[in-house]
Chains A and B, each alone.
Chain A
């Protein structure tokens, strides 16, 4: 990212901390922010039909989590839970959307970065769906 892009993002950022076990975001709630993790682990979870939560993915230091701030109707699609102590930048989605709308170059930069993130996540989900290590009844590899 160039300096100007970073300057525009940090203008919408604040420092946040979570304790292990804290719910950071909940499915269906407004996604007014996304996070850049500086330290700690965060789990993406969904409520399981049989009760409890299914952990879909974990992310840690250096990872960006959340793109729902960019996609109408701007609601979280999963729960976010701190697995350990977490330090992160929280980036205000509304603030960033305003900047994207008024500065298309910046908006395009953000779209490029977030589309890579979405494509990576989609690919990982596809591999997860393939259930690579399942038993021989359904798979041909050991």
Chain B
């Protein structure tokens, strides 16, 4: 997409990839006790930013700092940029203090995207752990908006407990769509929880998809993604058909500072979405 900043492109850098632009907070929604969703609109009219599913923006909480946050809304609706954020530290807590009408700085969109073109005509398997459902959501919404382009959709979502599942209502809605299978699981629950209990990888053997013609998109903690890829391989899906997204600490987002280096790759420049066979080696190593 032409409006996307590809960090290796010097013209894009000059075009302002390093300069945050002001966006209004148009709405906020509490997803769980520590996770919230902000809808943002550019202060300057006509400054919409088209994006591809899987890309992220750098959100700048004025006076505090910047964080990489994936876009979690539909790529078809670019009037608002939607971000789902988990409060973990200084910047995300500052973003959490934003109210409707406040402004936030935004740079982006940056990074590689989920392989929506390559996946055309194939079954799609989405495996999400925790807030990992947020970066996958644009890909799911895109596939639902272009239903004829894809085969069966399988959405497997895992979370810590019943109160930690984000987009729960929407998951229930998606489950009603034809040829869409949604399975939810939590790591721990009481007997009132109506869905699965167990780690998200245990859902993979139960899911129905064409192993010979499917693409999996996986987002969650690194260990979860590694075990998911192993389980997908056991069920017949090769690593070349598995895509993961990596979230390492990031500063410049344009491949200059080296903060987000992962083996030979810079996550901001080459990722965050990677084909699994290309980074598998680095997954099993500590401190890369």
Contact = CB atoms under 8 A, between A and B. Distances in A.
B222 interface: yes
B201 A141 contact: no
Nearest to B222: A141
Given A127-B227, A139-B221, A142-B247, A133 B187 contact: yes
Contacts of B190: 48, 52-55
Contacts of A57: 197-198, 202
Interface in B186-230: 187-191, 193-199, 201-202, 206, 220-224, 227
Interface in B76-131: 86, 88-89, 129-131
Contacts of B227: 123, 127
A57 B199 CA distance: 9
Interface residues on B, range: 20 to 34
B197 A135 contact: no
A130 B160 CA distance: 11
Given A43-B197, A52-B191, A53-B191, A132 B220 contact: yes
Contact of A128 (B86, B164, B196, B198): B198
Interface string A118-131: 00100110011011
A130 B224 CA distance: 10
A45 B191 contact: yes
Contacts of B39: none
A141 B191 contact: no
B198 A58 contact: yes
A130 B198 CA distance: 12
Interface in A46-77: 48, 52-58, 60-62
B59 interface: no
Contacts of A123: 227
Interface string B23-64: 000000000001000000000000000000000000000000
Interface residues on A, range: 20 to 34
Nearest to A137: B88
A81 interface: yes
Contacts of B129: 132-133
Given A43-B197, A56-B197, A142-B86, A131 B187 contact: yes
Nearest to B199: A127
B160 A124 contact: no
A43 B200 CA distance: 16
Contacts of A60: 206
Interface string B118-147: 000000000001110000000000000000
Interface in B128-184: 129-131, 158-160, 164
A58 B196 CA distance: 5
Contacts of B194: 83
Given A60-B206, A141-B222, A127 B201 contact: yes
Query: Which among A123, A135, A136, A141 has the greatest number of chain B C-beta atoms within 10 A?
Result: A141
A10 B21 CA distance: 69
Contacts of B197: 43, 55-58
A134 interface: yes
28 contacts: A45-B191, A52-B191, A53-B191, A54-B188, A55-B189, A55-B191, A57-B197, A57-B198, A58-B198, A60-B206, A62-B206, A83-B194, A123-B227, A124-B199, A127-B227, A128-B188, A128-B198, A130-B223, A132-B130, A133-B130, A133-B159, A133-B187, A133-B220, A134-B160, A135-B88, A139-B221, A141-B222, A142-B130
Given A123-B227, A132-B187, 20 more contacts: A43-B191, A43-B197, A54-B189, A54-B190, A55-B189, A55-B190, A55-B191, A55-B193, A56-B198, A124-B198, A127-B224, A128-B187, A131-B187, A132-B129, A132-B158, A132-B199, A133-B187, A133-B221, A142-B130, A142-B247
Shortest 6 CB-CB distances between A and B: which pairs? A133-B130, A136-B88, A141-B221, A133-B160, A127-B199, A57-B198
